Amino acid sequence: MELQDILYSQGFGTRRVCAGLVQQGWVQVYDGSAAEQPVPCTDSTSEWPLDGLRLRVQGVDWECHAKAYLLLHKPAGTECSQKPSTYPSVYSLLPVPLRQRPSKSAVQGVQAIGRLDQDTTGLLLMSDDGQFIHRMASPKKHVPKVYRVTTKHPVDAAQIAQLLAGVVLDDDPKPVRAAACELLEPHQIDLTLTEGKYHQVKRMLAAVGNRVEGLHRWRMGRYDLPADLAPGQWRWLTADDLQRLVAKD
């Protein structure tokens, strides 16, 4: 792919802007040489392999990916919306190129996969791959999601039994049940869900006579939120990460 088209695909601006960046000397390429230093490239039509290509654009290193698969440690006080109403958007935590990646088919650039409430923290996936978004978000795929829930009142055995057996929410007569529920402390449980209804954890706890005081998603599939990823930070997902996300027990 031509270098100007690679830059465009990565979100560095229009094709004209990207060609200008190259021609003005703002783009260097890691060409795999032993020196491991990027070399200047001023030919915007020079061809390079896209996936895994490493660039330095205006002094900032960038690894190119044909499709974006991202992990964000969502902090409290942020909204999973492109047009937030009250709190800052989680998209503001991403670098500008990721926010500007061009749309792919029906997917409008990088999208959050499912929504976490503004006060909910933890593992949030983002992608511009429509098939991957559907695979991870569709209730029919039954991807387990584990939430660490801090409750207002102590959780007793009867409440755990109710959550596992199923509770009825006000918008659906069909009971919704937890796939697993582990008591960690009197006021803390790990709740595993395979659906994604609106405010589901909070409503399920309310249905058994309790209240959620803190909510943190730390696992999806077999993939755990990395301990070294601080709130507000993001990273690319590796092929191994993606495999663990979709792996079945």
pLDDT tens string 66-86:
999 999 999 999 999 999 999
Which of 167, 218, 219 has the alpha carbon at shortest distance from 197?
Answer: 167
Residues annotated as part of the active site: 117
Does residue 237 share a domain with residue 212? no
Given 40, 63, 86, the domain boundary residue is 63
- Spatial CA neighbour of 210 closest among 156, 148, 173: 156
Q: Is a pLDDT exceeding 90 seen at residue 240?
A: yes
Claim to verify: residue 105 and residue 58 sit in the same structural domain: no
Whether residue 134 sits in one domain with residue 148: no
Q: Are residues 190 and 151 both part of a single domain? A: yes
Query: What does the pLDDT read at residue 60?
Result: 95
Domain containing residue 238: CATH number: 3.30.70.580
The model's pTM is: 0.93
Domain count, the chain: 3
How far apart are the C-alpha atoms of 134 and 129, rounded to whole Å? 9
Q: Do 207 and 99 share a structural domain?
A: no
Q: What is the CATH number of the domain that holds 23?
A: 3.10.290
**How high is the pLDDT of residue 107?**
67
193 vs 142 pLDDT, higher one: 193
Q: Which of 16, 37, 63 is the last residue of a domain?
A: 63
Q: Which domain holds residue 94?
A: 69-140+223-246
Q: What is the SS3 assignment for 41-55?
A: CCCCCCECCCCCCEE
pLDDT at 36 over 90: no
- 45 and 162 share a domain? no
DSSP assignment, residue 92?
G
Q: How confident is the model at residue 249 (pLDDT cuts 50, 70, 90)?
A: low
pLDDT band, very low/low/confident/very high, at 140 (cuts 50, 70, 90) = confident
229/108 same-domain check? yes
State phi, psi for 213 to the nearest 5 degrees.
-105, -25
Q: Report residue 163's pLDDT band, with 50, 70 and 90 as the boundaries.
A: very high
- 134-155 mean pLDDT: 93
Asked if residues 70 and 236 have their Cβ atoms less than 8 Å apart, the reply is: yes
